[in-house]
């Protein structure tokens, strides 16, 4: 069944676990993503980032996606998640990741998203509160959950933490939650987005603990979210590079730290990069083990893109040649079906 994000996250608080939230970058990923969660009898949070909605709306240069593109993409992924999630025995939420503005959130909701993130983390505190409140009012009236963000994701580079001022202040977080009534809040406590988080990144779990303790003390529910939580499995990086890729300095968050974070009040753990790496590896393997596909009329161009863009691991860099399948899940020939299996 399709549910708002809050329903899935409230359960984590009672049972003291954290829920993974996995990004989709192509409509064709929805079916398998839901099936895998069903196998584990786990609830599912699938999330499409703002620009991913643009891509799933057919915009190959998704960095320039317009609101119109995002509307089409939200509808496409919304339809697919409805198709495979509605009659599923597990709860499924479709969540907008890093919504940039109110209009992006509205487009997601219109397309069938059951939850939206409004990312006002780059705004001054009071403006972030104002924007988030507006979105909360609109979304809650429609039974849709809201995630917001406070603090700028700090990174670790060359084994040294960047400026501490970007970490979330727990007291600010509690004030923010009280004033906005958000269902979930992304905090900055040492994670960062992407595949280059630095070796041995260490999470400042006391930030999560202090925030959660205050919320529990005041009897307020709000799920704390860990963004930038990919583990960047070294064996996948190695496999990509052995197949001709060039991914350097790629390190993630250790799994043990994420497990610890779950015990410290983190309820939602966001993963995108790991899936992108795995998809890239899968596609490279496909062309390696089935070299005849390198000259396929429908997907040969994907092989040439993989060969040319050695440092890339964003599937969106390789998928434009099969855009109709990415958008609408129509799989016209066997070769295209083989690529869809990779994603
Ligand atoms: O945290 C956000 C996503 O991993 C970034 O996705 O490349 O679609 O903006 P994007
Ligand atoms: P990663 O880049 O670590 O996968 O983080 C994803 C994320 O935070 C999505 O919002
Ligand atoms: Na999010
Ligand atoms: Zn994020």
One domain for residues 141 and 197: yes
One domain for residues 254 and 290: no
Please give the distance, rounded to the nearest whole angstrom, from the Cα atom of residue 228 to the centre of ligand 2: 4
pLDDT score at 159: 40
One domain for residues 115 and 215: yes
Q: Could you list the residue range(s) of the whole structural domain that residue 56 is in? A: 5-280
pLDDT score at 330: 85
pLDDT tens-digit readout, 116-137: 999 999 999 999 999 999 999 9
Q: Which of 97, 119, 183, 335 is catalytic?
A: 97
One domain for residues 110 and 225: yes
pLDDT score at 155: 52
One domain for residues 93 and 15: yes
Mutate to test the pocket of ligand 1, among 52, 100, 117 (most ligand atoms within 8 A of CB): 52
Residue segments in the chain with a per-residue pLDDT below the cut of 70:
154-165
Q: Does residue 50 line the site of ligand 2, with CB under 6 A?
A: no
Could you say which of 256, 280, 304 is where a domain stops?
280
**Percent of the chain, pLDDT > 70?**
97
Ligand 1 is surrounded, with C-beta below 6 A, by 23, 49, 51-52, 97-98, 193, 227, 272
Mutate to test the pocket of ligand 1, among 60, 98, 197 (most ligand atoms within 8 A of CB): 98
One domain for residues 115 and 210: yes
Please give the distance, rounded to the nearest whole angstrom, from the Cα atom of residue 186 to the centre of ligand 2: 11
One domain for residues 176 and 197: yes
One domain for residues 70 and 218: yes
Count of domains observed in the chain:
2
One domain for residues 144 and 274: yes
Say what the pTM is.
Answer: 0.96
One domain for residues 144 and 232: yes
One domain for residues 198 and 338: no
Residue-wise DSSP of 31-91: HHHHHHHHHTT--EEEEEEHHHHHHHTT-SSGGG--HHHHHHHHHHHHHHHHHHHTT-SS-
For residue 56, give the ligand nearest its CA. 1
Burial degree of 248 (CB within 10 A; 0-12, 13-18, 19+):
exposed
pLDDT tens-digit readout, 205-214: 999 999 999 9
Could you say which of 257, 280, 303 is where a domain stops?
280
Q: CATH number of the domain that 22 lies in?
A: 3.20.20.70
pLDDT score at 158: 40
Q: Please tell me the distance from the alpha carbon of residue 296 to that of residue 302, in angstroms, as a whole number.
A: 9
Please give the distance, rounded to the nearest whole angstrom, from the Cα atom of residue 23 to the centre of ligand 3: 9
Which residues make beta-bridge pairs with 226?
269
Q: Please tell me the distance from the alpha carbon of residue 162 to that of residue 159, in angstroms, as a whole number.
A: 10
Could you say which of 280, 300, 319 is where a domain stops?
280
pLDDT tens-digit readout, 148-183: 999 988 554 444 444 444 899 999 999 999 999 999
One domain for residues 188 and 165: yes
């Amino acid at each position: 069944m399709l549910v708002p994000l809050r329903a899935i996250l409230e359960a984590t608080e009672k049972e003291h676990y954290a829920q993974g939230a996995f990004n989709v970058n192509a409509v064709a990923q929805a079916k398998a993503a839901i099936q895998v969660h069903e196998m584990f009898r786990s609830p599912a949070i699938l999330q499409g980032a703002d620009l991913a909605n643009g891509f799933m709306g057919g915009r190959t240069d998704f960095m320039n996606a317009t609101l119109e593109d995002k509307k089409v993409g939200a509808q496409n992924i919304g339809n697919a998640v409805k198709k495979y999630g509605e009659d599923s025995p597990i709860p499924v939420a479709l969540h907008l990741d890093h919504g940039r503005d109110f209009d992006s959130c509205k487009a997601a909701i219109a397309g069938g998203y059951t939850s939206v993130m409004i990312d006002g983390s780059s705004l001054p505190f009071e403006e972030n509160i104002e924007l988030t409140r507006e979105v909360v009012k609109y979304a809650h009236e429609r039974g849709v959950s809201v995630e917001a963000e406070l603090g700028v994701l700090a990174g670790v580079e060359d084994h040294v933490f960047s400026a501490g001022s970007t970490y979330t202040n727990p007291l600010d977080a509690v004030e923010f939650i009280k004033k906005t009534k958000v269902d979930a809040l992304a905090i900055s406590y040492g994670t960062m987005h992407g595949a280059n988080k630095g070796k041995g990144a260490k999470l400042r779990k006391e930030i999560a603990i202090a925030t959660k303790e205050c919320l529990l003390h005041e009897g307020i529910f709000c799920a704390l979210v860990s963004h930038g939580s990919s583990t960047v499995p070294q064996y996948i990086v190695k496999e990509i590079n052995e197949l001709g890729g060039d991914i350097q300095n790629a390190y993630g968050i250790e799994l043990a730290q994420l497990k610890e974070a779950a015990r410290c009040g983190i309820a939602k753990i966001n993963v995108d990069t790991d899936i992108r790496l795995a998809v890239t590896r899968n596609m490279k393997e496909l062309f390696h083990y089935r070299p005849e596909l390198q000259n396929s009329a429908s997907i040969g161009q994907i092989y040439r893109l993989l060969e040319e863009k050695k440092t890339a691991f964003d599937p969106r860099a390789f998928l434009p040649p099969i855009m109709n399948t990415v958008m609408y899940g129509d799989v016209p020939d066997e070769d295209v079906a083989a690529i869809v299996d990779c994603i």
